[in-house]
Amino acid sequence: MMFYDPYSERQGLYRFLSENKVLICIAAVLLFIVGMELASLYHRIRGGAGDVANDGAAAQAAGENVGENAEPHGRDGALDAGSGQAAGTQAAWVDDAQAPGKPDGDWRLVLINNNHPMPEAYAVSLASLRNGLQVDERIREPLEQMIADAGSAGLSVLVASAYRTAAKQTELYENKVERLRAQGMEENQAKAEAIREVAFPGNSEHQLGLAVDLVASHYQRLDDGQADTAENQWLQARCRDYGFILRYPQDKTDITGVIYESWHFRYVGVEAAGEIMDKGLCLEEYIDLLNGK
């Protein structure tokens, strides 16, 4: 029978530790670094839900979860060179006469659509949300307050898309055209259909930094089902209190030129939002009303 000697086993362990202490130290440092990176990743993902009030879900889902109009988390966080927009400058027109649909110089009511593209002179000062996406710095506070209040009501709202560079908008538009062509459409038909869902570069409110796509954390798709979520119904009923409107209503597609987007909210200020929502208008109609048309 073999005699078990625990003292000898301990001595062997001590020798191993002594002979390999350098490797053990290196391994410990590597494990520490990996642990810190994992902790940092976890907190970044949790932080995205700060755009979400009280929810630990990641603020962005990959691929189709947030639809073709949204970009994966952080992807558009940095500005593209040559996009015509830059951080650190105040949103303004070089010449107010160039500002389409801008009554009395009000930056909140700038009208951008297929008939009113953004002039190259437009620049915006951006602020980052907790999930890394960006908006015009002047709307961050009311946006975050709206999402926080939704959280207090037991709802979890995610920012799926916010500011976009011209380069990003071009990529989304061209991808949509290619998908439609792959389905058998002629190029001209595909382009005409694409702009009903993805604005032509220069015609997107996302390039203003005043528009956001908001989704329920449990339903991260930009489709008809979004309107059925409690989160979207809460937003549509209360967005006006924070200066936002539902930009593309279901019964205004002939005027806006855009399909019903229950997830797309635009900042116009509390006063204008109240009038627009009370009167059942879209932004185009409200601008006409202000201009006496």
State the distance between the two ends of the chain, measured CA to CA, in whole angstroms.
105
Q: What are phi and psi of 200, to 5 degrees?
A: -65, 140
The residue assigned the tokens 């960006």 is: 134
In the block, tokens 């954390």 appear at 217
The active-site residue out of 71, 171, 261, 275 is 261
CA dihedral in degrees (253, 259, 260, 261; nearest 10)? -130
User: Residue 211 in 3-state DSSP?
Assistant: strand
- 3-state class of 81 per DSSP? coil
Return d(Cα 156, Cα 45) in angstroms, integer.
14
Answer yes or no: 261 catalytic: yes
For 47, the token pair is 């932080």
As given in the structure block, the two tokens for residue 204 are 């997107």
Backbone torsions φ then ψ of 146, nearest 5 degrees? -60, -45
Phi/psi for 201 (5° steps) reads -50, 130
What token pair was written down for 166? 């011209």
| Axis crossing angle, helix 187-194 with helix 166-182, rounded to the nearest 10 | 130
Neighbours of 179 (CB within 10 A): 13
* Active-site amino acid positions: 261
